[in-house]
Amino acid sequence: MLSSLFFSQSCYGCDQQLIRQEKLICFDCLSQMEKTGFHMQPEQNELFYRLAGRVPMEGATSLYFFDKKGRLQQLIKALKYKDAPHIGLRLGQLLGHELADSAFMEAVETIIPVPLHRSKKIRRGYNQAEFLARGLASWLEKEVDTSSLIRQFATLTQTRKNAEARWENVGGAFLCKKSIPQHILLVDDVITTGSTLVACIQALISAPEPPLSIRIASIGMARQG
């Protein structure tokens, strides 16, 4: 009994017991999650087209497609609501593994996680996007910047809003506090409409010294339509 308490750890995606070689996520879950491969064509993919035209950027990618009730949804739920920031590090490393040696990452100097409002960060205890960024950065040896971009308003929860209400909800929510690194990658957990990232980019390009290039990466991209 006691030994199982210490040695049994279950997968955050499916609750099956992990074997020694598996780290937080089992091989079955990893094989079930469908990769997008968008980083191979960062300016010619569904995610880029979803955001392009609204704000300037040099490319967008997501590690996986995000399906409701899929394994990735379980992982993101654990990351956001079950006090499991280490899942963020693991998913960030998986993203790093995917993006390593890609032209997409070559120009990136600094990784900026989408910020949480201070009150929400206190409630949750951490910013999940920061853990994704740190996992990614540790794999690719990049800098993480959590101080240049801040969330100045605590917006209402997005989950029950339709697309139009989401745009209104996050507009102007972010602010740049100081000069920003020149070539940045913005990181978020799951992209749905992209309204949050667009609001971040609007704040970045309105800064006194805006970045020269902005790229986007997420762990999941919700399919539309």
Residues that bind Zn ion (CB under 5 A): 11, 13-14, 26, 29
Minimum distance of Zn ion from residue 107's CB (angstroms): 35
Closer CB to Zn ion, residue 10 or residue 179?
10
Minimum distance of Zn ion from residue 12's CB (angstroms): 7
**How many other CB atoms are there within 10 angstroms of residue 218's CB atom?**
28
Closer CB to Zn ion, residue 11 or residue 99?
11
Closer CB to Zn ion, residue 15 or residue 106?
15
Number of residues assigned to the chain:
225
Minimum distance of Zn ion from residue 218's CB (angstroms): 21
Closer CB to Zn ion, residue 48 or residue 66?
66
Torsion angle of the four alpha carbons 40, 43, 46, 52, in this order, in degrees rounded to the nearest 10: 160
Which of 121, 77, 114 has its CA nearest to residue 201?
114
Torsion angle of the four alpha carbons 132, 103, 45, 187, in this order, in degrees rounded to the nearest 10: 20
Which of 132, 164, 159, 156 has its CA nearest to residue 146?
132
Question: What is the token pair recorded at 157?
Answer: 């929860």
**From CA 15, how far away is CA 24, in angstroms rounded?**
10
Minimum distance of Zn ion from residue 28's CB (angstroms): 5
- Does residue 189 contact residue 80 with C-beta atoms inside 8 Å? yes
Closer CB to Zn ion, residue 19 or residue 122?
19
Minimum distance of Zn ion from residue 97's CB (angstroms): 18
